[in-house]
Amino acid sequence: MGSVVEYRCGTCTFTSGQLSVGWGKAGRQSFWGALASCNPCKTLGVVDLTERNQDRSERRCGNCNAPLTILEGLSIAVPCPRCSTPMHHAPLGTWM
């Protein structure tokens, strides 16, 4: 099961909105949501790691076409894209 999460910054009031991360019942071959940030847009979102037409380093922001940075490591230690303060992780549910 994947997780539906939201990240909130207590310093600058940034919020990511609902994000679907991980993979569902179909497994990693169908959808594998990974957290990614766009530095120019100062946003946090999800990219599908199962997309075979792109290299991880070639993923681009849908708003500004800048390269996205895939966040690796613990998903609970995500820095705010606007002020770099560690954000609060709010689990909202699961998806399949």
| Every domain of the chain and the residues it spans | 2-95
Q: Where does the pLDDT of residue 95 fall: very low under 50, low under 70, confident under 90, or very high at 90 and above?
A: confident
pLDDT higher than threshold 80 for residue 15 = yes
Strands in the chain per DSSP E: 2-8, 19-21, 33-38, 43-48, 69-70, 88-95
pLDDT for 55 equals: 61
Count of CB atoms situated within 10 Å of the CB of 39: 13
pLDDT for 26 equals: 74
Q: DSSP 3-state assignment of 56?
A: helix
pLDDT higher than threshold 80 for residue 45 = yes
Over residues 73-79, the mean pLDDT reads 77
Average model confidence (pLDDT) across the chain: 87
Contact 36, 78 (CB under 8 A): no
Count of alpha carbons within 13 angstroms of residue 90, beta-carbon side: 13
pLDDT higher than threshold 80 for residue 24 = no
